[in-house]
Amino acid sequence: MHERGILIRIWFIALLLLVSFCGLGAKLCYLHLSNHSKVTGREYKRTLLGLRGGIYDCNGKQYPMAVSLPARLFYLDPKSVKKEHDVGQIARTVSQHLGLPEAEVQAQFRRTDSRYIKLGYSLDDRVFEALSDPLTISGVGAEEMVIRRYPQGRRMSHVLGFVNNMGVGGAGIEQQYNRYLTGTPGLIEGEKDAGRREIFSRRKVYVPPIAGSDIYLTLDHRIQFEVERAIQEVVEKFDALSGWAIVQHVRTGKILAMASFPDFEPENYTETTLDVWRNNALAIVYEPGSIMKAVTVAAMLNERLATPTTEFEVGEGVWFYAGKPLRDHVYGRVTVSTALKKSSNIACAKMGLRLGAQRLENYLRAFNFGSKLGIELPGEENGILARAKDWDKLKPTRIPIGQGIAVTGLQMINAYSTLANDGRMMRPYLVDRIVSPSGETVFQARPEVIGRPVRPDVARAVREMLTGVTEEGGTGKRAAVPGFSIGGKTGTAQKAVPGGYSSTDYYASFVGFVPAGEPVFSVLVSVERPRPQHTGGFVSAPVFGKIAAATARYLALDPDLPSDEEDGLDAAQP
Partner 1 sequence: MRRNRKRQVYAKVLPRSVAGLIVLMVTLVLVYWVMDSKCAQLGQEIRKCEQKIQMLDAEYAREESRWSEKNTPEKLEEAMLQHGIAMSYPVADQVVRMDASGLPIEGQLSLARFKRSQSATERVVKTLPK
CA distances from 237 to 342, 400, 527 (A): 26, 31, 11
Question: How many CA atoms does the CB half-sphere of 452 hold within 13 Å?
Answer: 5
Nearer to partner 1, 321 or 554 (CB): 554
Please enumerate in sequence order all residues whose Cβ is within 8 A of that of 69, keeping only pairs 6 or more positions apart, or say none: 123, 146, 147, 148, 149
Q: How far is the CB of 222 from partner 1 (least distance, A)?
A: 6
Q: How far is the CB of 51 from partner 1 (least distance, A)?
A: 8
Nearer to partner 1, 22 or 322 (CB): 22
Cα–Cα distance, 91 to 399 (Å, whole number): 68
Question: How many CA atoms does the CB half-sphere of 388 hold within 13 Å?
Answer: 15
Q: How far is the CB of 65 from partner 1 (least distance, A)?
A: 9
Nearer to partner 1, 274 or 569 (CB): 569
Q: What is the separation, in whole angstroms, between the first and last Cα of the chain?
A: 128
Q: How far is the CB of 67 from partner 1 (least distance, A)?
A: 5
Residue 62, exposed/middle/buried by CB under 10 A (0-12, 13-18, 19+)?
Answer: exposed
Cα–Cα distance, 370 to 387 (Å, whole number): 10
Nearest to 469 by CA among 419, 423, 434: 419
Which DSSP string corresponds to 62-84?
GSEEEEEEEEEEEEE-GGG--TT
CA distances from 155 to 158, 225, 267, 314, 525 (A): 8, 7, 12, 47, 18
Q: Which residues bind partner 1 (CB under 8 A)?
A: 3-4, 6-7, 10-11, 14, 17-18, 21-22, 24-25, 28, 51, 63-64, 67-70, 123, 125, 149, 151-153, 155, 197-201, 203, 221-222, 225, 483, 550, 553-554, 556-559, 567-572, 574
Residue 278, exposed/middle/buried by CB under 10 A (0-12, 13-18, 19+)?
Answer: middle
Cα–Cα distance, 75 to 253 (Å, whole number): 49
Q: How far is the CB of 7 from partner 1 (least distance, A)?
A: 6
Q: How far is the CB of 197 from partner 1 (least distance, A)?
A: 7
CA distances from 14 to 2, 18, 107, 500 (A): 18, 6, 68, 110
Nearer to partner 1, 4 or 110 (CB): 4
Nearer to partner 1, 220 or 328 (CB): 220
Cα–Cα distance, 110 to 273 (Å, whole number): 35
Q: Phi/psi at 6 (nearest 5 deg)?
A: -60, -45
Cα–Cα distance, 25 to 232 (Å, whole number): 78
Q: How far is the CB of 395 from partner 1 (least distance, A)?
A: 46
Q: How far is the CB of 63 from partner 1 (least distance, A)?
A: 7
Q: How far is the CB of 568 from partner 1 (least distance, A)?
A: 5
Q: How far is the CB of 251 from partner 1 (least distance, A)?
A: 18
Dihedral over Cα of 452, 454, 460, 464: its sign = negative
Nearest to 284 by CA among 293, 292, 276: 276
Nearer to partner 1, 14 or 353 (CB): 14
Q: How far is the CB of 9 from partner 1 (least distance, A)?
A: 10
Cα–Cα distance, 304 to 428 (Å, whole number): 29
Cα–Cα distance, 398 to 353 (Å, whole number): 10
Task: Name the maximum alpha-carbon separation found in the chain.
Answer: 148
Cα–Cα distance, 116 to 478 (Å, whole number): 61
Q: How far is the CB of 554 from partner 1 (least distance, A)?
A: 5
Q: Do residues 291 and 536 touch, judged by C-beta distance below 8 A?
A: yes
Amino acid at 8: I
Nearer to partner 1, 7 or 353 (CB): 7
Nearer to partner 1, 135 or 571 (CB): 571
Nearer to partner 1, 51 or 496 (CB): 51
Nearer to partner 1, 153 or 332 (CB): 153
Amino acid at 314: V
Q: How far is the CB of 198 from partner 1 (least distance, A)?
A: 6
